[in-house]
Chains A and B, each alone.
Chain A
């Protein structure tokens, strides 16, 4: 087998292994969310589409964060994530990057889930409890922003260009969507949307565009 064929074979094997591990995490997360929705429905609670969407996105981000943290905690496995074709143990710098990425993803998941789940917390009818949830959100957001800044500073020019392109595409798509939805609502042609609805759409579009761009640029 030529060297290139050996590299390709290792790449396919390691990519399949990582995908399989990701599938296990996804299965647990999906099962848990499915049980939650079933329980909610049985309790006669109606969830708005944006609340369901937020929880779905939150579980995806939490699951991804936990998966990356778990896989990235082992230098050999993390090395397979860095280079599936020619895996070497990950460097301490690469391990730190994965830990920070996992940290940011987990926080993003909590930020999306907390406003939805917060309405069912004991004492949620009280303004004090709701204000406490808001304070927690602000603090978590500050932590996540710190993490994102650290990731940006550690990223190379390729990753920064990827982030910038994703942001530009999202801005154009979402601005266009906002224009037409707002105009449609003004003209009485479309139903009103809440800010939470808009946020969930923003997060979903950003995740989707980010994934597509990563695939297109060969980042994943």
Chain B
């Protein structure tokens, strides 16, 4: 899953550890989500969106799967 976590974190001037404290996970968890090594649970995705004042869809997006490179249809 693609995400805008790093960009949003930078906009707020938070370190990974600071964001982790705000959403109740470790710094390593934040790093893993940012680098795509871990997809957050629905609950955590909502917590992340809430802390940035955004919707979940504005923060997370499924990775492109179509062979043409176009986003998947709704």
**Interface residues in chain B, defined as those with a beta carbon under 8 Å from any beta carbon in chain A:** 15-17, 21, 24-29, 31-33, 35, 37-38, 40-41, 44
Contact = CB atoms under 8 A, between A and B. Distances in A.
Interface in A127-158: 156-158
A136 B29 CA distance: 37
A82 B17 contact: yes
Interface stretch (A40-48, A63-71, A118-126, A212-220): A212-220
B29 A156 contact: yes
Given A83-B15, A86-B15, A157 B28 contact: no
Contacts of B31: 218
Interface string A152-169: 000011110100000000
Contacts of A216: 37
A154 to B, nearest CB: 10
Interface residues of A, number: 15
Contacts of B29: 156-159
A75 interface: no
A158 B38 contact: yes
Contacts of B44: 157
A90 B44 CA distance: 23
A161 to B, nearest CB: 6
B28 A158 contact: yes
Interface in A63-122: 82-83, 85-86, 88, 91
17 contacts: A82-B17, A82-B27, A83-B15, A85-B15, A85-B16, A86-B15, A86-B17, A88-B17, A91-B21, A156-B26, A157-B41, A158-B25, A158-B28, A158-B33, A159-B26, A218-B31, A219-B28
Interface in A186-220: 216-219
Contacts of B17: 82-83, 86, 88
A217 to B, nearest CB: 5
A217 B35 CA distance: 9
Nearest to B26: A156
Contacts of A82: 17, 26-27
Given A88-B17, A158-B25, A218-B28, 9 more contacts: A82-B26, A83-B15, A83-B27, A86-B17, A157-B29, A157-B41, A157-B44, A159-B28, A217-B37
B8 to A, nearest CB: 16
A218 B32 contact: yes
